[in-house]
Structures are given as C-alpha cells and as structure tokens.
Chain A
Amino acid sequence: MPRLILSPRLAASRRFTFLVLLGGILAGLVVSGGFLLTQGMGLSDLASQFVGYTFGNPAGLDQTLTRSIPLILVGLSVAVCLKVKFWNIGVEGQLWAGAMAATAVSLYHIGPEAVRLWVMCVAAMLGGGLWCGVCALARVRLRANEVVTTLLMNYVAYMLAQQLLYGAWRNPQDSFPVSKVFAPGETLALLGFGHVHAGIFFSLGAALFCWWLCGFARVGYMAKAVAANPAAARAVGVPAGAVVLLMATLGGALSGLAGFTIVCGEEHRLTQFVGNDFIFPSIVIAYLARSNPLGVVVAAIAIAALYTAGDSLKAFYQLPGATVLTIEAILLLCVCCAEFWLRYQLGWAKSTKVAP
C-alpha cells in the first residue's frame, strides 16, 4: 500500500520560496475577499475600496501614508528583533514608553528649545530601547522567556501612561485625560499633503539604516550567526549575548521612535490611544516582509492601506472595526501554512520489496 510520508525539505530554491510566499499571500487575499463577499459586499465594491480609495484618492492616500509612518517603525522593530530570534511582542509598550519619554521632555522643558524636538526624539528612542532592552537582558542573563516579559511590559507601560494622564500630566485646562498640547517647535512639520508629516523621513531613514545594519554591517552578520547557531557563534568569538541585547534594544528604540512620530506628528500631545493596536500588525508586517527592512516598508504601506480601507468599510458598509484584524489574521494564517512547504515535503514512500 502506498503511504504518504512527511520529511524535512533539504533546501528550497529562491524561486520556490518566492512562489510559495506569493501563493500564500494570494490565498490569503482570496479567502479574505470571499469572507467580505459573505458580509454583503460586491466584487466591484471590493475593488473600489481596496484599490481605488486607498491609493487612487488623495484623502485615502493621505490616510494610508500617515498611518504607515508608525507601522513601518514597529514592523522594523519586530523584524530587527527576529534577526536574533527574539520575539518582540511588546511593541505597544515600547511605543508607549517612547511617547511618554517624548512628552516628558516637552512637559518639563528639558534641553534647549532650539533642539527640543531632537531631544524628544532621542528620549523616545531611549525609552523604547530601555523597555525592550531589559527584556533582552533578562533573557540573556536570566533565561527569562522574552515572549512573556515583552508582553507584560506592554501592560506596565500602558498603566503607567494612564496613571500619568489621569494624574500628574492631566491637561489643567479642561481636565480631559490628555497632556498639554506641545509647543509648535516640538512637533513634526506637515509636508503639505494632508496629514503626512516629517515623521515619514524618520521611518524611511530607519528602514534604510536597518537595511544597512542587517545586510552590510558586521553586526548584521553576527546576528545571523547567533540566530543560526548560538553555540558556534560563541565559539568563533561572536559576543552572542551582546548582539542579542543590541538588536533587541535597537528594536525597542524603533518602537519608541514610532511613539515619537505619533505624539509629535499626529496628536501633538499624549493621549489615551497613542499606543493601541500595534502588536499584531507589527508581527504581520515583519513576517510578510520576511524581516527584510526594505520589505517592511512595502508591507507596512500595504497594511496601512488595509486600515484605510477598513475605516471606509466601517463607514459605508457598516462592517465592524474587527474587519482589518480579521483580514490580517487570514493573510498571516495563509502565509504561515504555505511556508510549511518550504520546510517539509510530502511524498509517497517508495514501495518496499516484499520478503521472499
């Protein structure tokens, strides 16, 4: 009787890898589209929402680009951490930490006014870096599982921000739980296209930096070595712990920077909602981009477009807010399942001779 057997695949060619990924994404899009069709949308509606509005219309494009600014940064954050096999599911906490640090600089007038914005930027990166760095340190030194620690740090940052917003930082004028509005010199300039602000240069710059770091700098290669084989990396003299610490701290700093772009570019103050809904998108973006920093930019814009479309679906078709999350989940599900074929192969067992 022929039998199916599952065995590890030795090597997948580049072309095969690409095809599998593409197949996964296409499958995800088809399933998502089918799902939306069951929710009472027509095919032409789908096309006009997802292609026409998100890219073809200035308002939609504005929204998409603005949204992609922090998404690129959190996607990079997860991607950079994944380079050393460090699961960063704490981008929200790091983003909050960055936003709070930047706000503190504004509220307490730290540093000369001329460079205040830059001080805020550095503070945000320090805050985010610290938030992720302690988790990396705990993993390197104490073998604490980073999935759990980065997760918990989300809540710590969120609670801290709420405590501040309802307490010391509450706007004295109207006593809403928001901070005072930043001074004009403390915000990122608008670029003259809707809400798109100078934060986009930070995002693209960060992507270029990460691209260089991971692909052309020594550290990038050390990270590859640590991810591939930590014992061998240590034996050839790669300071494995330091590399993990560095990459994770950098990842945290990128999320902190995302917090900076939100408070200084969009909200111009700390609000209760600056750090919501980033964890899953960041994972999806990094994963779809296969942790390639330039790929992250593309994936983040695509996901931002999804959010834009989601908002209009909500407005015009009364679809719930969960639409975007559902589509993201379906996409990631299909891509993960497709990747199975990169690592394993299913084949028929060769028939065995029968004993005489």
Chain B
Amino acid sequence: MEYELSRIQRERFDEISKLAVRLAEVEKSFGPRPALAGANFSLEWGEVHALLGENGAGKSTLMNVLAGFYTADAGILEVDGEAARFETPAAAADAGIGMVHQHFKLVGPLSVLENLRLACARRAGWRSKAEALRAMETLGKELGFRLDPSARVDEMAVSDQQKLEIMKVLLAGARILVLDEPTAVLTEQEAQSALGLARSLARSGRAVVLITHKLRDVLGFSDRVTVMRAGRTIIDGAASEGMTAASLSEAMVGGAPVTELPPPSGSRHFKPEMLRVKALCAPASAHGVALAKIDFSVQGGEIFGIAGIGGNGQAELVEALIGVRALTSGAVLFDGVDMPPSPEARRERGLRYIPADRMGMGLFGELPLNVNISLPRLLGGGAEKKWLVTKSWMNGLARDAISQFEVAGAQVDLPARLLSGGNAQKLMLAREFTGGMEILIAHSPTRGLDIRAVQAVQTRLRAAAASGCAVLLISEDLDEIMQLSDRVAVMSHGRMSPAENVAAVDRARIGRLMLEMH
C-alpha cells in the first residue's frame, strides 16, 4: 500500500511539469451552503478538457476561482507547476488565464474595438487604435472569422459576441482558456465551429477547459473529462475515449442507478382540449429568438412535452403564455375562448407557472416563506382575504405547504433565498398547486435539483395531470420529456415541430430534430 502510494506520487511529480493547472481540495461556500466541497481538477497543456456536471454542480464556481473572480476558502491552486493565488481577474489574466463566461462579460453599449482595447490594451501593449485594429485583424485571420470593429456589442448576434470574447482572451495573452458552456446558446453549426475552434486552440499548444453539461460535447471534442457533482470531483481527468454516455451520466447524477418513476397508474382519460396556441408569433427577448408561428394544443389530463436546447425560444413562449410578453400575431385559447391578456387575469382563469429561474421569476428571495406562499391567494377577484391579511392565516398556509410538499429546513418566517435549490422548488410547487389550477406550465422544473427532489417534482407533475390539468412541460432534458410526456414536440430556433405521440416516437429522431431543424 505504501509502495503504491509513493509510486503514484512519483508519477504525479513527473507529470507536474506537463500540467497547466492543478486545483486540489478547493472549498468555497456562499453563506452556509458549500458550492465547492473539496473539488479537484488538473489541466494539461495541449488538451481540451471537458468539465461536466449538472446545473449547480459547481463547475462555474471552480473555474471562477481559477480565473480570479472568486477567492477560495481553502485549497491549492497551481499554474504551470507553481503555487498561485489570484485576488483579481486581472491577476489571473496576467498569469495567462482567460475565461469566457456563461454570461459574457462584454460592455454592451461599447463597440467591438472598444471592448478589446478595454481588456487588452495594457497587456498587449497597444499604444493606438490602429495598433489594436491591426492585432484584431491578424488574429481574426488566424481564427478564420471577421468581426466589424465598430459594431455595437449589444446589437451583435450571440455567436459573434462569443467570438469577440474568445478574441478578447486571446489578445490579452491567454494560454489557458476556460469556455463556460459555450454551446448553450448557439445553433448547431455555430456550436460545431466553436468546439472546433476550441480544439484547434488546444492543438496550438494552449490548454482549453470546456464546461458543459452535454455529453455530446465531451464525447466528440474533448481529450479528457472531469465530472463534478455537488461541489466534488467524481471523475478526475479520465480519458474521454473510453467513456460512454451511460457512464458519464451516471457519474453526473449520482452513484445509485436512477430509479425509474413508476408508470402512471391506472388508465388515463384525457379531457377535451384545454389550451390551444394558434400561429403564435412574438418578438425575441434581449438574447433570445423570436417565435414564428407556434401551433399546438394540450388536453386536460395530458402532459405535453416540449423538448429542445435552451435558448431556442422556450423562454419567449412561456412569457407569451403567461401574459408578460406581447404577441405580434396569433392567439392563445383557453377552453376555446381567447385568454385574457393580463397575467393576473390568466392566473385567475387557472394558469399556473413554474419558471426555469426560480429565484428570478418565481420566488421573492427577500420575503419570508409565508408571504411567498400566500401571495397568489391575495390576488384577483377570488382573493381569500381582502381587508385583513393576518400573520396567522399566512402561517397556517405556509405550514400546510411545508408539510404537504416536504420542504425541508423551513420555518414560516425564513426568507426564501435561504432555501436550497430543491426546497425552493418544492416551495414553488406548493405555491402554484393551489386550488383552481387548470393549466400548468413547467419550465425546466427539475434543473439543478438532486435526484430525490427531481423525483418529488416529477411525481407532482404526474399528479397534476392525473387530476385533470393540462400540463405543459418544457425541458432541455430529453429523458425527462420522454419519461413524463404523453405527446412531444421539439422547439428549435423559435419554431416548433409537429407534436407526436410519445409511444410512437423515435428518440433518436427527436434528438436529431433538436439539432437539425435550423
């Protein structure tokens, strides 16, 4: 045993010279909950290293530690074999580390050239605009694309913004590149070319980290893979070649095999059509796509699944359905009549909504649980309380919700932002599953949750359908869609494929639709 260890250590020692980055036993918490609980990661020169994990696993946090955005609570960081500690992003950049963040760090109202000058002028030693322009052109030729230097960044396509980010880190002299979910917002071709670019950068002697939660990116484009779960490293830098989708996803979601939800009990009877969306068109959101002629309908008792890669119009569709995004044309019908336009009126008609971004669009982080739970019951004509809203009434509701939906670690006066992801989602469900629910829109309802919470949420969705609701499930997780839905359609680039019966559908073809409809 002793011998074994020291041999491994010796080998490690030999390897060190090859390592671009070593992170060991890194810990970081935001408040009481650890985001990183002893994460390890090593990166070699010349490789594309995939960093895989579910949402919330801590991938971005770990790389933010490397790039100087977060300071770790504990742990070791070595760059090129030497111990390092970065207090600021600038210090990390000086050490040759460049990160392209999930949400780009570009100054929107400035031009392409101004953004480059801002980030790189000092490190690249430019003394004039002309010099910056020349450097930009040269690099553009090398990378095989061209950007208009005078274009305003917030008016550019997302893919161009990403190219600009890559140029930015390269011109700042980065030899170690971190790309945080670069393919999440791109079309298939764009994603292919971005991944290809990552590969060629690695081959030119740099080291590239590719954060993703897509197995395809790992298997197709990376040399090694590290898998994280709940702030820890599960697979530490294994060669991608031997990996299979099954082994990776098992590592991602947990050691225990994912127990299948029991099939829906009893025979299902669908009620007549409750929700119909007719030729719906709506404008794009800031970084999204416009909706083009969306058509579908959902029956009572049915779960209608919408599959698709995030950012293909799902958020716009949801907003249009709940009434916070105006339509350019088309209609949304409820039981055959036009939905009232305002969100409050739609809610009163029985529309409920579980947003993808719980804390952003769903809960009120600063407000206590009892207010979060009782707020919907205070609204509209059917409000339960009009003139005297008492604490005891709210507390009663909150206690019922907490026990019924098994929200762990919750008191009625706890601010919602202090709940963990899974419990926040249970609170969300508890609030939305109030009396009078007829249509439920669930947008990525299990994203970032642990396996038990996932099952709890999925069981609730089934129960909602069984009770006669029309359930619209929008998810990036094809497995989830296939498991829960009765019918399925695919969204891509603001369009929707015709709905198909899930029993008759070919999974591979759905996958292709998700990727190929562009």
Contacts and interface: CB of A to CB of B under 8 A. Distances in A.
Interface of A: 5, 8, 10-11, 216-218, 220-222, 224-225, 228-229, 231-239, 349-350, 352-355
Given A232-B360, A235-B355, A239-B344, A352 B85 contact: yes
B385 to A, nearest CB: 7
B387 A353 contact: no
Given A221-B378, A228-B364, A228-B365, A239 B32 contact: no
A232 B363 CA distance: 6
Contacts of B83: 354-355
B75 A225 contact: no
B180 to A, nearest CB: 22
Nearest to B368: A224
Given A11-B418, A228-B365, A238 B389 contact: no
Given A221-B375, A238-B344, A216 B389 contact: yes
Q: Which of A5, A224, A228, A354 has the most CB of B within 10 A?
A: A228
B378 A235 contact: no
A237 B376 CA distance: 8
A10 B360 CA distance: 17
B78 interface: yes
B239 interface: no
10 contacts: A217-B387, A220-B389, A221-B389, A224-B367, A236-B379, A237-B344, A237-B380, A350-B73, A352-B76, A355-B83
Interface of B: 25, 31-32, 71-78, 82-83, 85, 322, 324, 342-348, 353, 355, 360-367, 371, 374-376, 378-380, 383, 385-390, 415, 418, 431
Contact of A10 (B31, B74, B380): B31
B88 to A, nearest CB: 13
B362 A232 contact: yes
B361 A235 contact: yes
Contact of B415 (A11, A216, A232, A350): A11
Contact of B375 (A10, A11, A225, A350): A225
Contacts of B431: 236
A321 B342 CA distance: 53
Contact of A222 (B32, B73, B322, B379): B379
Contact of A236 (B347, B360, B388): B347
Contacts of A218: 378-379, 383, 385-386, 389
A342 B387 CA distance: 33
A232 B371 CA distance: 13
B361 A231 contact: yes
B74 A353 contact: yes
Contacts of A350: 73-74
B167 to A, nearest CB: 33
A349 B365 CA distance: 27
Nearest to B353: A235
A8 B415 CA distance: 15
A228 B388 CA distance: 21
B418 A237 contact: no
Given A11-B415, A221-B371, A229-B364, A235 B383 contact: no
Contacts of B363: 229, 232
A225 B74 contact: no
B416 to A, nearest CB: 9
B389 A234 contact: no
B347 to A, nearest CB: 4
Contacts of A232: 355, 360-364
Nearest to A238: B379
Given A237-B348, A352-B74, A353-B75, A225 B362 contact: no
Contacts of B371: 221, 224-225
A228 B322 contact: no
A10 B344 contact: no
Contacts of A216: 387-390
A237 B343 contact: yes
Contact of B324 (A234, A352, A354): A234
A236 B25 CA distance: 42
A83 B344 CA distance: 21
A99 to B, nearest CB: 32
A238 B347 CA distance: 10
Nearest 8 CB-CB pairings of A with B: A237-B344, A355-B83, A237-B347, A10-B31, A228-B364, A228-B366, A218-B378, A237-B343
A235 B379 contact: no
A87 B353 CA distance: 32
Contacts of B324: 234-235
Q: Which of A11, A221, A232, A349 has the most CB of B within 10 A?
A: A232
A217 B31 contact: no
A221 B394 CA distance: 11
